[in-house]
Structure 1
Amino acid sequence: MSTQNALLILAAAVAVLVAAGFLVRALSGTDRGASPLERRFGPEYARTLAWHGGDTESAHRDLRERLDAYGGIRALPLEPAVRAHYTAQWTQLQEGFVDAPRQSVADADELLARVAATEGFPDTDRREMQLVALSVHHPDHVEGLRALRRAAGSSTASTEELREALVEARALFEALMETGSPTRVGAVRPGSGRHRGHLLKPKGSGV
């Protein structure tokens, strides 16, 4: 089995575990027992816990390290003209999907990286750091970026898989366009917010 296929299978397994976790919580009808980190990160908490094999201590350490490194980011608001420019670019790449699906997915990845960098997240040449930071401030939508990158990096992804990845990633694009401000900041007190080298991509992180 190729490394690429193994990663796709792992990603699918994590998605199943995350879905199972949310199903259990939905059936119980309550979040009263949720930890501050679980409430803060929502679906990203479940995904991280699954990535760490259900090890709550490791998952909490991972998430707290992300908060300490990136919780202090305050996204810069986009000027109306810049927002309109980015929106037009997204519309254009969507329209080009029919003729060039793989190129559209790659363009979407590039565009999301540029938008995030414009708002004050790590630069486009530090994609993994940028993704970690986005997982702190946009935990409800960052999985769409991961799906987009998996699709962009897969030489065997079908047109439908590419389309689904682009659709999922649009939620993050729209969230970045809405206010230029990260979501749910302050639910857990962050650390210094300094981008300390050993926390830029925590060891064992599921990002």
Structure 2
Amino acid sequence: MFTILLIAGLGVVLAVAVGLAFRFRQEVADRDGEDLQGRFGPEYDRTLARRRGDVRTTRRELRVRLKRYAQLQVLPLDRAAREHYLARWTALEEDFSADPGRALDAAEVLLTELAAERGYPAQAPFEDLAAALSVHHARRVHGYRRVHEAARAAHADHRVTEDARAALLSAGALFDSLLTARSSVSAPPARRAAGAVRPRVS
């Protein structure tokens, strides 16, 4: 009789332990998901939609991005480089009305070059670079994707559409973010210089 009670008691304890362990894992998973949503914002939603609502796959993909790119060092940008990029951005904005396709192409190229100078993978395929940018510029990276897509659409339709204009504005927000991002490494004295955010063009 004692043995039966002991076995029954151990069974209850084991069942409770399994239940608690499951609940703990679920709470950890929920916190992990909330942390990822908070960090990635719209990028979390975009990835979730691309994964057709598969939460587990979405979280796994974003955790892989964090592991790969979170420790990426943001390189310093000196005053001359800032002025160079600002001048190029101003020129493509001025060119936008006359030739939106060319301006959007130039915006994508400029963002890619600026990202490389700040330390992002220079020769990475488009989606890999977008993934790297999403870790540090999660609420601005959509500008890179929008300008990439809008450039192709603009070559097929040379009119200045609202979508093309909105894409350039979104790209401009990422441009500002990349231009002014704080360096994560020490710069030599000759490279330390404060830069200004480019003026907005309406």
Considering the TM-score relative to the shorter chain, is it more than 0.5?
Answer: yes
The code of the aligned residue for 2:50 comes to W
Picking from 174, 182, 185, the partner of 1:172 is 174
Within-5 A mapping of 1:98-109: 98-109=97-108
Per-residue deviation at 1:80? 1.1
Over 3 Å counting, the alpha-carbon distance change for 1:115 and 1:180 in structure 2 is: farther
Over 3 Å counting, the alpha-carbon distance change for 1:42 and 1:181 in structure 2 is: farther
Over 3 Å counting, the alpha-carbon distance change for 1:50 and 1:128 in structure 2 is: closer
Give aligned-pair identity as a percent: 41
Within-5 A mapping of 1:116-195: 116-124=115-123, 126-154=125-153, 155-157=155-157, 158-160=159-161, 161-181=163-183
Runs of 4 or more consecutive aligned structure 1 residues displaced over 4 Å after TM superposition: none
Q: Which has the higher contact order (CA 8 A, sep 6+)?
A: 1
Within-5 A mapping of 1:11-160: 35-124=34-123, 126-154=125-153, 155-157=155-157, 158-160=159-161
Query: Which protein is richer in helix relative to its size?
Result: 2
Between 1:47-56 and 1:155-164, the stretch displaced more is 155-164
5+ residue gaps in structure 1?
Answer: 1-31, 183-207
For residues 59 and 120 of structure 1, the distance between their equivalents in structure 2, rounded to whole angstroms, comes to: 26
For residues 101 and 82 of structure 1, the distance between their equivalents in structure 2, rounded to whole angstroms, comes to: 25
The code of the aligned residue for 2:128 comes to M
Per-residue deviation at 1:179? 2.6
TM-score by length of 2: 0.69
- Give aligned pairs, total: 151
5+ residue gaps in structure 2?
Answer: 1-30, 185-202
Per-residue deviation at 1:127? 2.8
Q: CA RMSD in A?
A: 2.0
For residues 70 and 109 of structure 1, the distance between their equivalents in structure 2, rounded to whole angstroms, comes to: 21
Between 1:58-67 and 1:154-163, the stretch displaced more is 154-163
Over 3 Å counting, the alpha-carbon distance change for 1:125 and 1:59 in structure 2 is: closer
The code of the aligned residue for 1:41 comes to F
1:111-161: per-residue Cα shift (whole Å, max 9, x none)? 000000000001156333211100111000001110100011224355212
- Structure possessing the higher radius of gyration over alpha carbons: 2
